[in-house]
Amino acid sequence: MIIRKALPQDAQGIGYVHYHAWLETYTGLIDSEYLKTLSVQRSTKIFESTACRDVFVAVEDGKIVGFCGYCKAHDEDLPDDCGEIHGIYILKAHQKGGAGRKLLDSALSELKLNGFKNAALWVLDTNKNAIDFYEHSGFVFDGAEKEEIFVTPIKEKRYVKKL
């Protein structure tokens, strides 16, 4: 497996992973009516619009099987030296093989290289697998929670880590 920075031409591969990983991860956790609104094309357009900037991809046998996005944290209550992991998705068939750890480590290293001292991320409060992964990676719940509407309300919790 190769971990590398995404290129603009990776948008379709990342879009494919984004769409399918959402279905694999959130079926049963997010309202199915919302999931029906998603598509590979919609996901691809998201990544085309950013030219796949600030994204690492996991590539196996020439195909993108996972990705991790990162940026400066958006939450106003976080310090300026805080970066954010804003998405880490791996196709189910490629989970448990180290891709998630390698993608996360690459993104955190890049944030640190860019002067960030901390990292934050938001996770669905019912996504036990993701919470366990982030806690095992040294992230801790900082008490912040928010609600979003995906046809029905969902709750997210914020986790932080010193870099």
- Quick one: residue 32, left, alpha or beta (phi over 0 = left, psi -120 to 50 = alpha)? alpha
Which domains does the chain possess? Answer: 2-162 (3.40.630.30)
SS3 104: helix
pLDDT tens-digit map of 64-74: 999 999 999 99
pLDDT in tens, 50-68: 999 999 999 999 999 999 9
Rounded to the nearest integer, the mean pLDDT of the chain is 96
Radius of gyration, CA atoms only, the chain: 15
Q: Over the stretch 96-150, which tens digit does the pLDDT of each residue have?
A: 899 999 999 999 999 999 999 999 999 999 999 999 999 999 999 999 999 999 8
